Amino acid sequence: MDALDEKTNGGPPMEVEEIVSVHDHEAFAAKHMPDLGHEVKDFTVFTWRLTNWKKLEKKLTSPEFECGGHRWRILLFPFGNSNAPPNDTVSVYLDYADPKRAPEGWHACAQFALVISNIHDPTIYTVSHAHHRFIAEECDWGFTRFSELRKLFSVQDGHTRPTIEDESADVSVFVRVLEDPTGVLWHNFVNYDSKKETGYVGLKNQGATCYMNSLLQSLFCTRYFRKAVYQIPTEDDHPTESVPLALQRVFYHLQTSDQPVGTTELTKSFGWKSLDSFLQHDVQEFNRVLQDKLESKMKGTKAEGAIQKLFVGKMKSYIKCVNVDFESSRIEEFNDIQLNVKGMKNLYESFKDYVAVETLDGENKYMAEGYGLQEAKKGIIFQSFPPVLHLQLKRFEYDIQRDAMVKINDRHEFPFEIDLDEFLDETADRSQPWVYKLHGVLVHSGDLHGGHYFALIKPDRETRWLKFDDDRVTPVTDREVLEENYGGEMMTNGLVPPMQRNQVRTMKRFTNAYMLVYIRECAIDEVLAPWKDEDTPAHLKRRLEEERLQMEAKKREREEQHLYLTAKVITDQTFAEHEGFDLATFDERNWPATDLPSFRVLKNEPYSTFKARVAQHFNYPEKQIRLWVLVNRQNKTVRPDTHIPENEPQLTVEAIRNTMAVRQQNDLRLYLDIIADPSHPEIPPGSIMVFLKHFDIANQRLTGVGKVYVPRSSKVSDLIPIINERMRWSPDTPLKLYEEIKPGMIELMKPKLTFTQSEIQDGDIICFQVDMNEKELHDYEVQGMYSNPVQYYDFLQNRVMILFKPKFDETDAEHPEFHLTLSKKQNYDVMSAKVGERLNWDPIKLRFTTTHSNGTPKQVLKRSLNQSIQEIMSPAYVSPQTTVILYEKLDVSIVELETKRSLKVIWTGIHNKEESTHPFLLPKTNSVHDLAVELSKQVKLTPGGTGKIRIFEVSKDGKTQKEFTGSEMIGNIPDPVELYAEEIPREELEADDADKVISVFHFSKEVSRTHGVPFRFVVKPGEKFSETKKRLQARIGVSDKDFAKYRFALIQHATFKQPSYIEDEDTIYDHKFAPEDVLGLDHVDKSGKTRTGAGEKAIVIRG
């Protein structure tokens, strides 16, 4: 205990005026130890009297005392411990007396106050308090700077004597050991094991996906749902492309793993790239889209109907006349119920509000068919609730004053059990009670613009409540499930006296429930049936078990990596296929490494054992092979240097690397030398090993043709007959020989010099070509070919591999992905010619775009600049990396495109239907009006119509048109853009001042699920909606059969998202239209073109 950190949970100690005696234990504790809201298990006060203070040892421990089944003592440094300046402070701590004897994994949660008081007057004291979870690693806690010594020895204001008088004082500790029903009170969660403590594991958060994690945990714990997901056949699926398989895998890992489970496979299967995953969607929308997706995948399988059975209930909206026998009603299914929080005390009140009956009377009477205007009751009543009931609490609402969405943090209580019988129609089936038990609480902590989500779930009747907070699962108390998520004011410490230190301020809580999951009591045993082994599909177990074993093997391999090194072996065959510098490519910047036979070798493996393995692998007797070690020469080339000695039995592979090669390298690079005559294995004395490469001018290729041993003293020209024989050419074929010294240094050799004079050594490379006359060489050069090795090596030095991909199209036969090898010195024109040749497309009609390192488009290349490949690729790429360039096949010349703007306009005619798409290529200076004129030549306008065309964009939310004035220059319209055009109907053109022109859009069920194209429509004064509908039908040209299925809603900007459906008797003209108020047509999307607002991206799950 020589150095202790500053361990203060309380503020600095302070002398308090109110007179309470240290001896009055209850009053003293009440005053100085705030109620932390936890049950007290035991309370003890221990006092220790000290005399001769100035003669005390530097460190003292009091006698032990017992509290809450634990032994404690006071730890005192009368002159401060070593962390504090010496001799001017007192340090005092509460110490767990004998942690070594305590049972393994022990802990104690204690709240305590440490006091030094006057022995004659116990109202004179100095006190500090704190609370702490005592564990083996942190078994003392308290105050390093409890008080300055001089203050304790001198009389302080308002007192008549000092705290330490005559060098004597009482040191007391007040200890409350608190109950810890969950076992995790004040836990620091270092080395916490969710699986061990709760039997469950968490989900990793990818960043802003905790709303998804909380829902997934809730669905996982709904065992009937998990079983249904497992029943979807997925044997042949790929996890990142199939939502059911990815979800099965997440569920299986949650079942079997002891570590938090990742969800990246799942979000990939949704087709989410990083950005989408990080847009915090609303959990209700995510749930609905996921359920829709799974429901479609369950069709025709054992699981068909499971989602309907679990989550879908029925409600009836009705209008019932009071004085005549007439009722108009419609029955709808629901997956969840959205309940108001604002102004509602609890869940029961929210349900009462949902089914509240509105009276239609006075001016607001209902036009009943055949009965005229009648007083009526309008409302909703439930016909059935599903076994698993998802309740969405409307915590997020539109605030008209602020013109913004706000979060409602009001207090709203919900119970562990609720009886929903009174909210059901009298015709409902009451053979079983409609009592529901709380199973899950999804909580949002924070404000509108973010925050954090977690889930509280009771997995079955026997298991306690658990908190699923991303990657951690912990037990919780009932209070943490209910009270702490009601919202409203903090209740815990609302009554703390103002003088008390360390009090928790009364404040609004931003942590509250936004979704509740209730399960019907009579269905619990089926919905949460105990999990049986056979409920998990065998194919999934098999597949994941295999993956687990592979992962473990890989992990083992990684852990043992330091014991191994990799030996890469160059053979005459790999050399023959190698086109580049040296005998193989190892770490060149713009070129992939050569694929060489590799061996994973234990570093301490004897060379003899390793050599036997190599011989066996290549099918040679051991005596017929010799291995050479390659070294990095000073000029940056990699060449064979010496062969490994055979007669040292102690030689290990690591020793070879360390002494003969380079210690820093992870791999050992070797050349396999096949001995022609094993009976004479020795290398002829005075000879050197030289490698040969052939530059084939006709085929523009460089190939390795093995090696030869030559005497040092022989002449360079002596090689020519050897080469001619090896190449099976006639003996008098003239050759030119070049030495490959290093990249950029390829030199013609002098045939009359000896190899010694030419400075040739083991491992050097000599390149040869057939000697030709000037005319032949000139013919090759005219064709753009390299006429000698020097030029060809220069190309190799500058070559780059570029991957070409189609920019917008999916890869197919017409738009392939392909690699081309180009030189950095070549330019745009050469590149476009080569790509044109590969695609069989006119190069002038190709447009190229460079890419960022993640593959996304960067900028379009301008042909007019004719840059070099080096400039196109710059800045230098990280090694080794393939440069990716995107191409587009155009219908027009790129020259024209660089001065013109290409646009597509979708024509919706007079009836708001997408009829055709028209591409235009017009000068950038043309106006939108010019574009309309061009369009009018290509589309058919209504005979006798207005002949006028409106060009517009669609607003981000998909609800309104953004019209152009006509004078805008098309070159200035931001890219990308989706343009629409329609014929302006006569009705709109001739509308008078009394008429209103409003926006109309299409949606399906949810206001955010817009589709089709919005349009404008004239609303006439005094016209009943039954008449307005007829004109609407004519405006959009829909058949009676289809139009009968349409519903109509007024979407007010002020009430945000909540549509109010319109009845035939309404006169919508009378609605005071705010600029953003629109009419919505609610019908099934047959266009297949769902659009989503950018402000609020609808969730799309693809796989």
Alpha helices in 467-513 (DSSP H): 478-481
Helix axes 607-618, 653-660, angle to 10 degrees: 100
* Surface-to-core class of residue 566, CB atoms within 10 Å of its CB (0-12 exposed, 13-18 middle, 19+ buried): middle
Residues 6+ apart with CB under 8 A from 865: 828
Please answer whether residues 818 and 804 qualify as being in contact, where contact means their C-beta atoms are separated by less than 8 angstroms: yes
For residue 450, count CB atoms less than 10 angstroms from its CB and return exposed for 0-12, middle for 13-18, buried for 19 or more.
Answer: exposed
CB-count burial class (<10 Å; 0-12, 13-18, 19+) for 980: buried
- 139 labelled catalytic: no
The CA distance from 1061 to 1070, in Å, is 15
- Least Cα distance to 408 among 394, 422, 418, 419 occurs for 394
**What's at 847, amino acid-wise?**
R
Antiparallel, parallel or unpaired: β 65-67 and 70-77: antiparallel
> How far from each other are the two terminal CA atoms of the chain, in whole angstroms?
59
Q: How many CA atoms lie within 13 A of 567 on its CB side?
A: 24
Contacts of 500 (CB under 8 A, 6+ apart): 31, 32, 34
Identify the sign of the CA torsion 749, 753, 758, 761. positive
Residue reference for tokens 């074929």: 733
Q: How many Cβ atoms from other residues are within 10 Å of residue 469's Cβ?
A: 23
Q: How far is CA 273 from the centre of its chain?
A: 8
At 882, list the tokens.
């393939």
Residue 321 annotated as catalytic: no
Q: Sheet holding 313-321: strands in order across? A: 327-334, 313-321, 376-384, 358-360
Report d(CA 480, CA 190) in Å as an integer.
22
What counts of helices (H) and strands (E) characterise the chain? 27, 51
Which region holds residue 567: left if phi is over 0, alpha if psi is between -120 and 50, else beta?
A: beta
The single residue of 109, 139, 210, 321 carrying the catalytic annotation is: 210
CB atoms within 10 A of CB 81: 22
| Antiparallel, parallel or unpaired: β 366-368 and 372-374 | antiparallel
Pairing of strands 799-806, 883-889: parallel
* Catalytic annotation, pick one of 452, 643, 815, 911: 452
For residues 126-147, b (16+ Cβ closer than 10 Å) or e, as one string?
bbbbbbbbbbeeebbbbbbbbb
Q: Which three-class secondary structure state does DSSP give residue 140?
A: strand
- Residue written as tokens 């050599």? 611
Rounded to an integer, what distance in angstroms lies between the CA atom of residue 747 and that of residue 751?
12
Taking residue 70's Cβ as centre, other Cβ atoms within 10 Å add up to 20
Angle, vertex CA 156, rays to CA 151 and CA 158, nearest 5: 160
Residues labelled as active-site residues:
210, 452
